[in-house]
Amino acid sequence: MALLQNNRSKAFKIKRMKSILSSLFFAAILFGLSGCDFLKKEDKCERDYSFSIPVSLTPALDTFNVGDTIHISIEFSPEMEDQNSGEFFDLIDYPFNTDIGLAKVDENPAACGNTLVSYVEGRGDLKLVPLSGGCISPQAYYETVENSLVFSCQIILNTSPTLLLYKL
């Protein structure tokens, strides 16, 4: 009888040990899959940055008519300070771009205004990315000139709604 109890006790201990090891193994797998990318396949940016970029709009009018042209020009040093952290970053080799946002504000709610104008590239590159609902997102990519990042374009008004330039 004692031998039978010893065998049962050993079998119980072995079964319990297997259960604990299985639990640890699955916990390690879950931790590995849900944690950071330990294989470092690609660099990921999970931060929000806030940079202040000087923009010049000419002419400086409060009213425009159909056919009028608004000139946008941007030139700044690639050494930029992040307003969130105070850290400085060199953006010269970074694929940095900004959006040009126009809203048609004579309707409620405001509608996309980017389809109501024409864009003419100047310096840098302007890509018109289609969005859902027929809207487009004009994205400004900067050209490097000496030690500056530069972009310019013209916006030509095709219709006469009330537009608001809300981001650049």
If one compares 127 and 134, the residue with the highest pLDDT of the two is: 127
Of the listed ranges 19-33, 91-105, 109-123, the least confidently predicted one is: 19-33
Question: Which tokens sit at 8?
Answer: 């049962």
Q: Which amino acid is at 168?
A: L
Examine the domain organization and report whether 62 and 20 are in the same domain.
no
What is the edge-to-edge ordering of all strands in the sheet holding 125-130?
97-99, 136-141, 125-130
What is the pLDDT, as a whole number, of residue 152? 94
Examine the domain organization and report whether 27 and 81 are in the same domain.
no
Per-residue DSSP letters for 36-73? Answer: --TT--S------------EEEES--S---TT-EEEEE
Domain coverage including residue 127: 55-167
Examine the domain organization and report whether 81 and 145 are in the same domain.
yes
Residue 50 counted as domain residue: no
Examine the domain organization and report whether 31 and 62 are in the same domain.
no
What is the pLDDT, as a whole number, of residue 125? 92
User: pTM for the whole thing?
Assistant: 0.64
| pLDDT band per the 50, 70, 90 thresholds, residue 103 | confident
Count: domains in the chain:
2
Instruction: Classify residue 129 by its DSSP letter.
Output: E
